[in-house]
């Protein structure tokens, strides 16, 4: 059986008890490894002045972990710089927040080259390689330059923007050439597929071959949508058993008879947290009878605090919370409870289940798994209502949610009112098809579909691997 090699920016190495973080990529990778023995390669999360050129190898049964450290300069330029101050805002249509620098871009390419050289020594002839996310767009090109001819797939977890947006990035042409070295490119939605395919056709004169395949400067690649799912069985079980959790019990006790609105997001300007708070403020302004009867809990762990734009966002959110609570709050009622610590799955599942309304209103999102978690966590007898941004990838799989324009505070406020007053019969009618769809299209379905395509797809008419120096140019 072929070995699976997964590459990601960060690697979640389990402890000795084989427990690993339950979120996002870690769950997806765990599912992919259920059918394969394999290797998971990436950054250790450590920053050190003198990182080793050789990866640290950690064995955990069927999976071997290989991690490398980064130097402060590498971390600053590759991660904080180009990946998160240039690529991330452009991919999320936030052109005004993009900060491109040639030194950061050079660091981004350098770290991808470091990863490729360390990884190439570990790759065996029959390995299948699956690379994850925007930090590693050039990795296949670097591996090809080192003579690696194995099948290499790539999954892009965030949106792929329209060509006119992506092409504002000074390095856009180089990155388009680099991504064409992947045999299979997976994106979250069909519009993402269209955006990338159109960009390759217009900019690099790629030739459509049918079935999502393109010939790009002599290399054949295939682009398809693979909407990522969640661990449905695990999340459902956590929601059903959440009553035993102390934090959940105490939170629900503090609510008394008040209805709960909930939002859970990493602190990021793509998530629309301050805009959502202003919509909640508008809801209370339009529905004064609901003051004191509804509480909004926003759980927002901080992230990327070394990036200036995120520090500014943190100040903006805190100011917005303070102003709303100061103007609306009473001694026995705080309209918005804002929490910046992360909670484990049992707590989140319990709070989702207790909420009458789930607010998932990002300004732009590749998928958004919180929306799916909220649906799966609901009681089959009395489900809550999902208010979902039409600009989240999840909206295409969850059309029965109340879809809103997150830029329109009045529309979001009206959706909150509609959700709170929605009769049980309509809530059930909306929830059932979403729950059934999430159960069918879970994380295992996602991983199996991608790996099946990657295993079955072999490049044809590929030019010989380029020398390493050419790949680095």
| Catalytic residue status for 157 | yes
Catalytic residue among 74, 365, 442, 444: 365
Would you say the C-alpha torsion 418, 423, 424, 427 has a positive or negative sign? negative
Q: Which pair of structure tokens corresponds to residue 186? A: 């997976």
C-alpha to C-alpha distance for 268 and 300, rounded to whole angstroms:
9
| Catalytic residue status for 202 | no
Question: Quick one: which of 277, 415, 276 has its CA closest to 357?
Answer: 415
Cα 118 versus chain centre, distance: 26
Catalytic residue among 92, 135, 157, 183: 157
Query: In the 3-class helix/strand/coil scheme, how is the chain assigned residue by residue?
Result: CCCEEEEEEECCCCCCCCCCCCCHHHHHHHHHHHHCCEEEEEEEEEECCCCCCCCEEEEECCEEEEEEEECHHHHHHHHHHHHHHHHHHHHCCCHHHCCCCHHHHHHHHHHHHHHHHHHHCCCCCCCEEEEECHHHCCHHHHHHHCCCCCCEEEECCCCCCCHHHHCCCCCHHHHHHHHCCCCEEEECCHHHHHHHHHHHHHHHCCEEEECCEEEECCEEEEEEECCCCCCHHHHHHHHHCHHHCHHHHHHHHHHCCCEEEEEECCCCHHHCHHHHHHHHHHHHHHCHHHCCCEEEEEECCCCCCCCHHHHHHHHHHHHHHHHHHHHHCECCECCEEEECCCCCHHHHHHHHHHCCEEEECCCCECCCHHHHHHHHHCCCCCCCEEEEECCEHHHHCCCCCEEECCCCHHHHHHHHHHHHHCCHHHHHHHHHHHHHHHHHCCHHHHHHHHHHHHHHCCCCCCCCCCCHHHHHC
* 363 within 8 A of 407, measured Cβ to Cβ: yes
**Annotated active-site positions, please?**
157, 365
């Amino acid at each position: 059986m072929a070995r699976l090699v997964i590459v990601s920016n960060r690697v979640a190495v389990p402890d000795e008890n084989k427990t690993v973080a339950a979120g996002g990529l870690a769950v997806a990778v765990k599912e992919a490894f259920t059918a394969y023995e394999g290797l998971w390669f990436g950054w250790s999360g450590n920053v050190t002045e003198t990182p080793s050129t050789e990866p640290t190898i950690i064995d955990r049964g069927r999976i071997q972990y290989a991690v490398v450290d980064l130097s402060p300069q590498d971390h600053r330029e590759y991660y904080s710089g180009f990946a998160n101050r240039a690529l991330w805002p452009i991919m999320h249509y936030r052109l005004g927040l993009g900060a491109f620098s040639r030194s950061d871009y050079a660091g981004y390419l350098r770290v991808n080259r470091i990863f490729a050289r360390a990884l190439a020594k570990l790759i065996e002839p029959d390995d299948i390689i699956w690379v994850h996310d925007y930090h590693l767009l050039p990795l296949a090109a670097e591996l090809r330059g080192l003579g690696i001819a194995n099948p290499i797939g790539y999954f892009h977890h965030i949106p792929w923007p329209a060509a006119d947006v992506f092409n504002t990035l000074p390095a856009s042409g180089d990155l388009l050439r680099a991504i064409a070295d992947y045999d299979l490119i997976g994106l979250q939605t069909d519009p993402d597929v269209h955006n990338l395919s159109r960009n390759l056709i217009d900019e690099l004169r790629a030739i459509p071959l049918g079935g999502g395949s393109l010939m790009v400067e002599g290399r054949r690649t295939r682009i398809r949508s693979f909407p990522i799912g969640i661990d449905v069985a695990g999340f459902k079980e956590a929601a059903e058993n959440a009553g035993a959790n102390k934090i959940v019990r105490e939170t629900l006790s503090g609510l008394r008879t008040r209805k709960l609105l909930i939002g859970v997001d990493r602190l990021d300007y793509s998530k629309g947290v301050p805009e959502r708070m202003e919509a909640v403020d508008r809801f209370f302004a339009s529905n004064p009878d609901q003051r004191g009867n509804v509480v909004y809990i926003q759980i927002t762990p901080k992230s990327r605090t070394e990036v200036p734009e995120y520090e500014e966002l943190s100040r903006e959110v805190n100011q917005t919370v303070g102003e709303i609570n100061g103007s609306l709050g009473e001694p026995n009622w705080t309209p918005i409870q804002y929490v910046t610590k992360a909670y484990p799955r049992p707590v989140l599942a319990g709070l989702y289940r207790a909420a009458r309304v789930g607010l998932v209103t990002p300004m732009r999102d590749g998928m958004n798994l919180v929306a799916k978690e909220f649906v799966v966590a609901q009681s089959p007898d009395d489900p809550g209502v999902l208010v979902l941004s039409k600009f989240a990838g999840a909206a295409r799989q969850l059309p029965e949610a109340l879809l809103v324009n997150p830029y329109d505070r009045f529309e979001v406020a009206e959706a909150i009112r509609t959700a709170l007053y929605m009769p049980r019969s309509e809530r059930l009618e909306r929830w059932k098809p979403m729950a059934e769809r999430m159960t069918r299209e879970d994380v295992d379905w996602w991983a199996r579909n991608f790996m099946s395509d990657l295993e079955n797809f072999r490049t044809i008419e590929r030019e010989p691997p380029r020398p390493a120096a050419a790949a680095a140019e």
